[in-house]
Structure 1
Amino acid sequence: MTSSNDPSTAENNSNSSESDMPPLRVDPSRLSTLKANIASIHSRIQAATSSSQHPPRLVAVSKLKPATDILALASSSSTSTENDSLQPPPQRHFGENYVQELLEKSKILWDAEHEGTKVGRRIRWHFIGGLQSNKATQLARDAKGLWCVESVDSEKKARGLSKGWEGREWLREEGQDVSAANGAHDGEGDDGRLRIFIQVNTSGEENKSGVEPDSDELLTLAKCIRDDCSQTLKLQGLMTIGAIARSQAAKEGEENEDFVKLKEVRTWLAKELGLDGGEEELELSMGMSDDFESAIRLGSSEVRIGSTIFGERPPRSEAKVV
């Protein structure tokens, strides 16, 4: 497979053999920078998490960053120095925003090795970007190590993902480890289904995707995932992207209204669905680089952090997958 300067062209390249790719090499200096950055994030997460609270999952958002950056963070911490006790554990959860970029990266990294271990097969991919309905089936069917899709806001997308997940039978035909390719490495209650977060537009901004809070549309979508697609999809929880102004206010110590609202929506939805375990059965994916500490204090189950770990992103036209 040849590398692509534009992740949006990955569909044209993804049919090439991964064996054409030279071994990925992690630059030691870049590795040091990335591990220092993510160690700082882990420290901040720990400081924001109360003693009675389960630490949130960290999703490293790697969009428009090269596969070597992902390999660096996913690799064993055995490359660390004498300060190993200060080093974070190998990163497992990574988030991508573009379908074709995720497809290409998942293929490139699938057989990537570090110190004799195929670390790429430990990666749990999250798709967190805007999802086109006509890309849903392809994403669920072809992305190796796909663990979760967090931006579902319509029944059509949910059913497309369900169809694609059923289509992963090609893995068995090729003799692949199906559980591995489905992201089943985590000990987080994996049952072979694709995890789904429903995106909720808590801010009411017209330029944001997501269903309206406390709406019939939200309840119908949740029931579609839980009931109609129960063999392939698992309703993991709710996701929101906070409004920029509210995120800035949260940095100053105020509660983010979007996060408060998402908690309220979870309580409402759990009651409407009659969940045996109550609202705790539904996770909350909220909080990014500028507001994750506020999100954690409000009970976030997962934070999605990109630029604070990887640095500023290049323009999409200049991004390189390798």
Structure 2
Amino acid sequence: MTDTDMKIDPQRAAALVSQIKTVRERIAAVANGRDVRLVAVSKLKPANDILALVQQASPPQLHFGENYAQELSQKAELLPRSIQWHFIGGLQSGHCKSLAKIPNLFSVSSIDTEKKAQLLDKYRGEYLSSLPPPSSPPSPSPTNTPVPAPGKINIHIQVNTSGETSKSGCAPGAPTISLCRAVAALPNLHLLGLMTIGAIARSVATTPETENEDFLCLREQRDLVAAELGLAPEDLELSMGMSEDYEGAIVAGSSEVRVGSTLFGARGPKSEAKIMV
């Protein structure tokens, strides 16, 4: 079954389009002219919802984030290749091979060890080597957006800015610098920037007028890594901000925000989720 066989409920589609329009307007209001990437976090939501935003939002929403490797692989098989997938969940070594084979995987935003980076690089290289040489330019997708050829996977290094033992991520300082340097040297990965989730309490308290310590820490780490790697700070993205705090994150300099429940509504239990309805 493919996206052409999927049914889209008109009322659900209209609600999703309205919600993403509101989020985009709120982003623009605080972005001060900067281009901030909106990643629609579609975990545990059906592919029908994603297709509705691809086909009916204006412009089409193409960046979607998933937390579970198997769910992402299944959705990528069903949905248009023009979608740019982001893996934003906790990365396990066993996920690397399947993720690396997704042609339109835009990024992995949760690299926190060199071993995981090396595995992802290895399997991406094997996948790219297995592809036939391109015979013609990429063809437009059903949304009239060119489908890019598979290439390097963008990487955000996850930094544990809050120091919580329950959080994944590199410790700030030397560990973050070392991992960034290692990723930058891998041939099939591209060091896109740094990511943090941060403390929930700080997230809830964040407004466009208040500072979030996790956001400040990530920005400091980005500047430190850039200096150590001989890059300009603007060469490295900051990926921070979710439904609760994305406006404050943008004010603090975020290049990318991950918004899920504000767009799609509350999620039910994983056991009840369906890939397609």
TM-score (norm 1): 0.78
| Paired position in structure 2 for 1:292 | 246
Identity of aligned residues (%): 49
> Residue 153 of structure 2 contacts residue 190 of structure 2 at CA under 8 Å; is this kept in 1?
yes
- In 2 relative to 1, CA 177–168 (structure 1 residues): closer, same or farther, beyond 3 Å? farther
- Equivalent of 2:81 in 100, 118, 121: 121
Give secondary structure in 2 for the equivalent of 1:287.
Answer: coil
Q: Structure 1 stretches (4+) deviating beyond 4 angstroms?
A: 173-180
- Is 1:26–2:8 an aligned residue pair? yes
> Residue 13 of structure 2 contacts residue 56 of structure 2 at CA under 8 Å; is this kept in 1?
no
| Paired position in structure 2 for 1:102 | 72
Give secondary structure in 1 for the equivalent of 2:192.
Answer: strand
CA RMSD of the aligned region, Å?
2.5
> Residue 153 of structure 1 contacts residue 210 of structure 1 at CA under 8 Å; is this kept in 2?
yes
- In 2 relative to 1, CA 43–197 (structure 1 residues): closer, same or farther, beyond 3 Å? same
> Residue 249 of structure 1 contacts residue 255 of structure 1 at CA under 8 Å; is this kept in 2?
no
| Paired position in structure 2 for 1:64 | 44
Q: In structure 2, how many angstroms separate the alpha carbons of the residues matched to 1:102 and 1:29?
A: 25
Q: Which shifted more, 245-254 or 281-290?
A: 245-254
Q: In structure 2, how many angstroms separate the alpha carbons of the residues matched to 1:317 and 1:170?
A: 37
**What residue identity is the alignment partner of 2:222?**
R
- How big is the shift at 1:186? 8.0
| Paired position in structure 2 for 1:316 | 270
**What residue identity is the alignment partner of 1:123?**
I
Q: In structure 1, how many angstroms separate the alpha carbons of the residues matched to 2:201 and 2:138?
A: 42
Q: Structure 2 unaligned runs (5+)?
A: none
**What residue identity is the alignment partner of 1:203?**
S
Give secondary structure in 2 for the equivalent of 1:321.
Answer: coil
| Paired position in structure 1 for 2:189 | 233
> Residue 95 of structure 1 contacts residue 128 of structure 1 at CA under 8 Å; is this kept in 2?
yes
- How big is the shift at 1:175? 8.5
> What are the within-5 Å matches in structure 2 for residues 262-277 of structure 1?
262-275=218-231
| Paired position in structure 2 for 1:201 | 160
**Once the two structures are superposed, what CA deviation does each residue of 1:245-275 show, in whole Å capped at 9, x if it has no partner?**
1112213842111001100001111111112
> What are the within-5 Å matches in structure 2 for residues 1-322 of structure 1?
18=1, 23-51=5-33, 54-77=34-57, 88-109=58-79, 120-141=80-101, 143-169=102-128, 172-173=131-132, 192-215=151-174, 217-227=175-185, 229=186, 231-251=187-207, 253-275=209-231, 278-322=232-276
Give secondary structure in 2 for the equivalent of 1:90.
Answer: coil
**What residue identity is the alignment partner of 2:274?**
K
**What residue identity is the alignment partner of 1:262?**
L
May I ask how many residue pairs the two structures share in their alignment?
271
- In 2 relative to 1, CA 178–167 (structure 1 residues): closer, same or farther, beyond 3 Å? farther
- In 2 relative to 1, CA 264–169 (structure 1 residues): closer, same or farther, beyond 3 Å? closer
> Residue 208 of structure 2 contacts residue 251 of structure 2 at CA under 8 Å; is this kept in 1?
no
- How big is the shift at 1:92? 0.7
- How big is the shift at 1:176? 10
Q: In structure 2, how many angstroms separate the alpha carbons of the residues matched to 1:179 and 1:33?
A: 32
Q: In structure 2, how many angstroms separate the alpha carbons of the residues matched to 1:226 and 1:190?
A: 21
Q: In structure 2, how many angstroms separate the alpha carbons of the residues matched to 1:35 and 1:271?
A: 41
Q: In structure 1, how many angstroms separate the alpha carbons of the residues matched to 2:4 and 2:150?
A: 34
**Once the two structures are superposed, what CA deviation does each residue of 1:177-227 show, in whole Å capped at 9, x if it has no partner?**
9978xxxx989x999211000000000011000001112x22221111111
**What residue identity is the alignment partner of 2:158?**
Q
Give secondary structure in 2 for the equivalent of 1:75.
Answer: helix
Q: In structure 1, how many angstroms separate the alpha carbons of the residues matched to 2:248 and 2:145?
A: 26
Give secondary structure in 2 for the equivalent of 1:126.
Answer: strand
Q: In structure 2, how many angstroms separate the alpha carbons of the residues matched to 1:190 and 1:169?
A: 10
> Residue 171 of structure 1 contacts residue 178 of structure 1 at CA under 8 Å; is this kept in 2?
no
> Residue 45 of structure 1 contacts residue 55 of structure 1 at CA under 8 Å; is this kept in 2?
no
Q: In structure 2, how many angstroms separate the alpha carbons of the residues matched to 1:179 and 1:158?
A: 28
Q: In structure 1, how many angstroms separate the alpha carbons of the residues matched to 2:145 and 2:253?
A: 22
| Paired position in structure 2 for 1:5 | none
